[in-house]
Copies of this chain bind each other. A is one copy, B any other.
Amino acid sequence: MVEKNNTNGADAVIETLYRAGVRICFANAGTTEIPLLLAMDRYPDIKTVLGLFEGVCTGAADGYGRMLEKPAVSLLHLGPGFANGIANLHNARRAGTPLFNIIGEHATWHIHADPPLAMDIEALAKTVSDWVHTNKSPDLLAQDTFDAIQTASSGKTASLIIPHNNQTADIKYIPPSPSAIYCEAIDTKAIEKIAKTMKSASKTAFFLGGKALRKRGLSIISRIQEATGCHLLTGTFPGYIDRGAGLPYIEKIPYFPEESKRLISQYELIIIAGAREPVTFFGYEGIDSYLISPGQKKVYLCHENQDMFYALECLADNLGSLKKSKTQDTPRPMLRPDDIRSNLPSGGLTPDKASHIIAAIQPEDAIIVDEGLTSFFAYYPLSANLSPHTLLTITGGAIGYGMPCSIGAAMACPERPVINVQADGSALYTVQALWTQAHESLNIKTLICSNRSYNILKIELARAGITSPGESAKSLIELDSPPIDWVRVAKGFGVDAVSVETASDLAQALKKALSEKGPYLIEMKLG
């Protein structure tokens, strides 16, 4: 695709991205990335998507990578630009999103002068990346880019820092060489042993994450559950989960530790697949960080660099041949879609009513981007039996992920409607994302959970026995003076919007919004 005869370092980067199948780049660039911008101009098949703040770019890359399971690319400006993207890169890392950040840097001969924008970019990048590299020579740019993409492909974050003069230097393009990808064989004896342990255990649960929560994983897990009746669990904030009729019900571990402990304590055996061991979200005095107690049996199905699907298949085959009779009831919320749809709540909106209405109205194949936090807890069990849909959540706890993540999800799957259920305080962290939604005419319906407070802090204070905090604490919790006028904010960024206060108005507004393509915002004023 390079039309010039002489290629420069920036061309080598973009050529390598193109050959690796990259077709989108979420960017906010500056002077040190100009050669990369100009190189992009020679690849019209790679779309550049502007975010008006780097947290929008990295959050969008997270959403895109989560949906497509292939490397999402961001282009960021120096240390301060990268720093602005860290919070959403943190979420991406916790979600195991394949993600590749390209960061421009001052010219190698300029950096020693410590110019105003100079920072230790490597140190910043290391906090949220599995792979960080500063390019040492323009001739190595194709290989560095390839190595980064290969690293990212396995659900990792790679960050490549490229000095400006290496971008502009003339080079000959040398196609990079793939390195061997290490994949450890499954120990089938170990899987057999797990099957036998399951047979002897009185009560078993799987604790699932990563690829296990996608259709392919869930369909194999279905077979295991049919054979054994085992229960299926995941963390409070799974990165990605395919849901709806036909797929097994995965119970989310509750947020607060007393409840999550109680849930997990009932199992003699917990098999962990595609996840790390479950831990409490925060540390609570007197409660162990780890939710599985030392008296319980804990088994990892396989290692990170083994083929989990094959391990699951092996386990299902083993269990099938054991012809073990079910000893457990399979729990599943009993609500049928018709029950939900025929009993729509009315009156003033509450979090539970809003959750009910969203579940009742969400269309088939919807992508639900959930940053509803305390306002959306009721939705998850309600929506178990709906038509197929995908749920993304705020895996790393760094707020401001929902609006940007929705951009990436919508660009990855333009034929699927995106519903972003969005806590108001968190929305304000990356509210500029609305502009990109308008700019790209993305089919995203944003539902603001407007409770005008950082409600989780109220709940945590109440847990600590404090129901009426003093002025100082209160001033850091309440967002009501003045209240955000969400309709104005959204329209200011080019997204049409409405505010609703009752359940029936929400139902009506959401149906109407879903009947049209494009972005729309509904402020749900919650009582």
Contact = CB atoms under 8 A, between A and B. Distances in A.
B279 A113 contact: yes
A118 to B, nearest CB: 9
Interface in A197-246: 237
Interface string A257-293: 0000000000000000000100111110100011000
Nearest to A38: B473
Contact of A44 (B32, B94, B276, B472): B472
Given A281-B115, A428-B52, A461 B34 contact: yes
A80 B117 contact: no
Interface string A347-388: 000000000000000000000000000000000000000000
B488 A492 contact: yes
B493 A289 contact: no
B116 A127 contact: no
Contact of A114 (B44, B237, B276): B276
A30 interface: yes
A180 interface: no
A448 to B, nearest CB: 12
B127 A285 contact: no
Interface centre among A32, A124, A290 (most CB of B within 10 A): A124
A83 B86 contact: yes
A473 B37 contact: yes
B106 A119 contact: no
A198 B485 CA distance: 61
Contacts of A276: 114
A321 interface: no
Given A30-B457, A80-B398, A472 B37 contact: yes
Contact of A282 (B90, B106, B114, B425): B106
Contacts of A124: 86, 123-124, 127
B50 A475 contact: yes
Interface string A377-419: 0000000000000000001111110000000000000000000
Contacts of A481: 439
Contacts of A469: 37-38, 41
A289 B34 contact: no
Nearest to A460: B31
Given A461-B34, A485-B492, A489-B492, A289 B475 contact: no
Contacts of A491: 485, 488
Contacts of A55: 84
A164 interface: yes
Interface string A28-59: 11111010011011111011111011010000
Interface string A486-503: 111111111000000000
A496 to B, nearest CB: 11
Contacts of A50: 475-476, 479
A521 to B, nearest CB: 11
A171 interface: no
A482 interface: yes
Given A457-B29, A482-B439, A476 B115 contact: no
Nearest to A475: B48
B473 A484 contact: no
A79 interface: yes
A438 interface: yes
Given A83-B398, A84-B87, 11 more contacts: A37-B469, A37-B476, A40-B472, A52-B425, A53-B429, A81-B87, A107-B285, A109-B289, A110-B289, A117-B397, A483-B494
Q: Which 10 A-B pairs have the closest CB atoms?
A: A110-B283, A41-B470, A489-B492, A482-B494, A488-B492, A80-B398, A107-B283, A113-B289, A83-B86, A113-B279
